A and B are shown apart, each in its own frame.
Chain A
């Protein structure tokens, strides 16, 4: 039995309606409890801001394309490097750090749970190997189904149960967590160097549209009772005028779950552009947030960009090729047979670029114009919009109009005409920030029941204590104290164990991987479906028996079982 008592904590725990209360947090064997004995270790939080461990609901940190981002970028590896020190391994990289680099930086920022944004099922083993080498965060993997041939065939036949059965088999085979659709249909079209340009355009050879894929997968997701909703990267990412596609997509979404959203729309900043060309691009954040404000069934994340160098990486292969033709920088692409695609390109977001300035403004506008912070979460689509180490600056911008105005004054002079950022007065409070970075993320991912995102009795003792006396700080004017405070915790506690102290990681990690195993009625199990098995054998280049990820890849796997269609 291990016991820990965090004393004098200024706790914000939105899910338990606790807001800046000075209290003690008793912890036993990794969970929050009523009380602990007198021999418990004691941490004095000295009245500092204490939050549930941070959760990133969309970040690219592990797997084939992330590692290829490292592989092709020695220039970035040199941009951030630390030597072995204490329990910490060597790290390299700034925008695509090594796995230990990611893990240490998230830890020192108080983040304890991360959803990998995109895992190709065929390459799942790789993602899980890197999860193990990201030792301090509990991990889970969005699993790509956007160009899945078997799924598209089921969609074409309007067979939701079949689609659900394929999802169930795949998630349990690859130890995935949730359904991810990246440019649905577009990644298959990219197999021929093409793309789809609207939700109603047919995918070549498959006689389905993105809209049909999205709506069928939403039904399949709810049929399987998956903890998370469908997680969607909309079609037409990064194209002027794409906000229409995004609005059309949102209009497809029914409200079919009482506990959470029915659609998680990711990095919406990249999908909220007006205009018709790069010359007349403008913000459509108002239209997008108006739609979200009217639709409780939708949760989005910001996809904020921040100025500086970073790497774009996505399953959206055709988008990356378009970006390559704009930037003429190095370009990698990796199509995955029968499943999806991917692409990687380094970028520099510059204040001299009007387009980049408009993008920067849109992300903030989305957050500030969305009334309910549970519906717009803080993320940069790490590292696409910016590396996650920029989150504290984004918090500062959301909490301070003055900070935003000062930044706006340094932007391209055309920014004001294309955006509404300078007319928004809203300044977010501590509670709203706690929602956007942990409570909302836990709710959206469906992991509150796993004890994440809050500090109530029985919750997992993932706790972040920041050197911020939030009762004495006015974020509106003292935003530097806010951004600095969120960069480095005094203590990060993971399952009741102090893992980081004042920016140093002090123990070896022992993370878990959450995955979902939905059970479906025997008669629709695709593993016994001769047609499914035959096509697998004929068209994949690995044998079906060698496809599933063995348990050995998840040394501390946590399986969430769901019962479908009962």
Chain B
């Protein structure tokens, strides 16, 4: 059977035009998707049943036992951490927040290790953005800063920006000027009209120089800024000012290099400045398919996009203190629930090591680098493959994942609802 207009659950592009051929419970062919999409749909390594660690190693247990164990671990913890949430749908995220609220825990999502600094910058200066179709239909200048979409978001350029045919850009690539800014010559840089190579850690300086030039102060710019010549900076500023519609996209090269959120703030303020001359937007390239959804869901329930601490009863937010990595590195939490993410692969060693010391529960379809760190793993459906639900694209557009195969796995939202109800039951008694 061929299913059309399938939504890819891999990255924040959430391409919704895939054609997937399924045979029973197996995906046998993926069309329109990138290589990452294909491996997402055809990948294996699903954990067959809940497993619990005992003195001898792992034992398989029933879902009922696993749910009750998970509830017990969370109930007996003083400072539980609930982390992850980016590769699942909104209902699961919402259940997670309500559990954290119930047990006075800390809930954080993967923004903490990707675009958390972007959120801090936005909270200081705002965010002039747009949906991706606005870029596709109008943008004649596109800037990729500190990111490599050719490899990390392979269809971003073909579907939404550089190579896409837009209403006001009918000639697609020929109607657009592409600027890539990075510390190394990436695949993306190869197709740029203008490649700005910055010395490592020089983003803030280069952004400041561009802002000064856009403000008409080019005379104060030295002959070279962080390895970039004054001539190139002036040339690029002119390209931007003369654009009819310019769009900046940025990635972890900006958020996680020296300067962190200050870099992003500077980039946003450059965008503000350019809006006094023409139309310009800026947008983070979000990684996990539904990481933006976790920010949205957390925000409408708690008021904050990530790093929410319910220990005081109210929702408290202080990134650096209430962020997952910091809590783990301080050895502060005494139990953890990890859902739909892989901190074993992405966290600093010291943070991951603490997960192994405490009772850690993992709800995830696959055996991952986090599996060896945990005490209990409960396998569930994989959102976008055997479960449906809401995801928010990197630009905020909400899209509904399809369920393309039937499976016997329970939905992670169902598991969390049961854990939630069990906790309430015990607390009530």
Contacts and interface: CB of A to CB of B under 8 A. Distances in A.
A152 to B, nearest CB: 12
Contacts of B304: 74, 77, 92
Interface string B1-33: 000110100000000110000000000000000
B262 interface: no
B119 A71 contact: yes
Contacts of B101: 84, 89-90
A90 B301 CA distance: 8
Interface string A346-387: 000000000000000000000000000000000000000000
Given A72-B123, A72-B127, A126 B398 contact: yes
B110 interface: no
B399 A67 contact: no
Interface string B386-400: 000010100011111
Contacts of B390: 125, 129
Most buried by B among A70, A133, A191, A542: A542
B126 A330 contact: yes
Contacts of A125: 390, 398-400
Contacts of A192: 138, 244-245, 279
A71 B298 CA distance: 9
Contact of A333 (B128, B296, B305, B317): B128
Interface in A43-82: 62, 64, 67-68, 70-74, 77, 81-82
Nearest to B296: A67
Interface residues of B, number: 63
Contact of B303 (A70, A337, A546): A70
Contacts of A331: 125-126, 128, 272
Interface in A82-139: 82-84, 89-93, 97-100, 122-123, 125-126, 129-130, 133
Most buried by B among A81, A82, A193: A193
Interface string A517-544: 0000000000000000000001111110
Given A333-B129, A338-B133, A70 B313 contact: no
B414 interface: no
A81 B314 contact: yes
Contacts of B313: 83-84, 90
Given A321-B275, A332-B128, A541-B160, A98 B397 contact: no
A191 B279 CA distance: 7
A126 B315 contact: no
A338 B295 CA distance: 25
A335 interface: yes
Given A123-B398, A192-B138, A193-B278, A541 B128 contact: no
Contact of B245 (A71, A93, A99, A191): A191
A19 interface: no
B44 to A, nearest CB: 27
A129 B392 CA distance: 12
Interface string A531-566: 000000011111101100010000000000000000
Contacts of B305: 71
B307 to A, nearest CB: 10
A91 to B, nearest CB: 8
A344 interface: yes
Nearest to A134: B300
Contacts of A336: 130-131, 134
Interface in A180-206: 190-193, 205
A543 B17 contact: yes
B314 A90 contact: yes
B299 interface: yes
A471 interface: no
B398 A330 contact: no
A334 B90 contact: no
Contact of B5 (A62, A123, A333, A545): A545
A64 B314 contact: no
A72 B126 contact: yes
A247 to B, nearest CB: 31
Interface residues of A, number: 59
Contact of A334 (B94, B131, B138, B168): B131
Nearest to A334: B129
A133 B301 contact: yes
A335 B281 contact: yes
B148 interface: no
A123 to B, nearest CB: 6
A123 B293 CA distance: 13
B397 A541 contact: yes
A74 B122 contact: no
A123 B396 contact: yes
A65 B89 CA distance: 21
B380 interface: no
Contact of A193 (B7, B131, B132, B275): B275
Interface string B336-358: 00000000000000000000000
B397 A338 contact: no
B299 A71 contact: yes
A168 B216 CA distance: 50
A337 B272 contact: no
B301 A89 contact: yes
A98 B86 CA distance: 21
B88 interface: no
A193 B279 contact: yes
B120 to A, nearest CB: 9
A92 B126 contact: no
Nearest to A64: B396
A81 B315 contact: yes
A93 B303 contact: yes
Given A122-B131, A333-B129, A90 B245 contact: no
Contacts of A126: 296, 392, 396, 398
Contacts of A77: 302-304, 315, 317
Contacts of A550: 400
Nearest to B122: A72
A538 B314 CA distance: 47
B165 interface: yes
A397 B230 CA distance: 61
Contacts of A62: 300
Contact of B126 (A97, A332, A539): A332
A545 B4 contact: yes
Contacts of B159: 541
Contacts of A83: 312-314
A442 B397 CA distance: 32
Contact of A344 (B126, B276, B299): B126
A86 to B, nearest CB: 12
Interface in B382-426: 390, 392, 396-400
Given A90-B315, A129-B90, A330 B129 contact: no
Contacts of B312: 83
Given A70-B300, A98-B300, A539-B166, A334 B314 contact: no
B95 to A, nearest CB: 12
Contact of A332 (B17, B98, B129): B129
A539 B137 contact: yes
Closest 3 CB pairs of A and B: A337-B133, A92-B303, A83-B313
Interface of B: 4-5, 7, 16-17, 90, 94, 98, 101-102, 119, 122-134, 136-138, 159-160, 165-168, 244-245, 272, 275-276, 278-279, 281, 295-296, 299-305, 310, 312-315, 317, 390, 392, 396-400
Given A125-B400, A192-B279, A332-B127, 12 more contacts: A62-B300, A81-B315, A83-B312, A90-B301, A192-B245, A205-B168, A330-B124, A330-B126, A334-B129, A337-B137, A345-B126, A541-B397
15 contacts: A71-B305, A74-B317, A77-B304, A81-B303, A97-B303, A122-B397, A126-B396, A129-B300, A129-B398, A191-B245, A334-B130, A337-B136, A338-B133, A541-B132, A541-B136
Interface of A: 62, 64, 67-68, 70-74, 77, 81-84, 89-93, 97-100, 122-123, 125-126, 129-130, 133, 149, 190-193, 205, 321, 324-325, 330-338, 344-345, 538-543, 545-546, 550
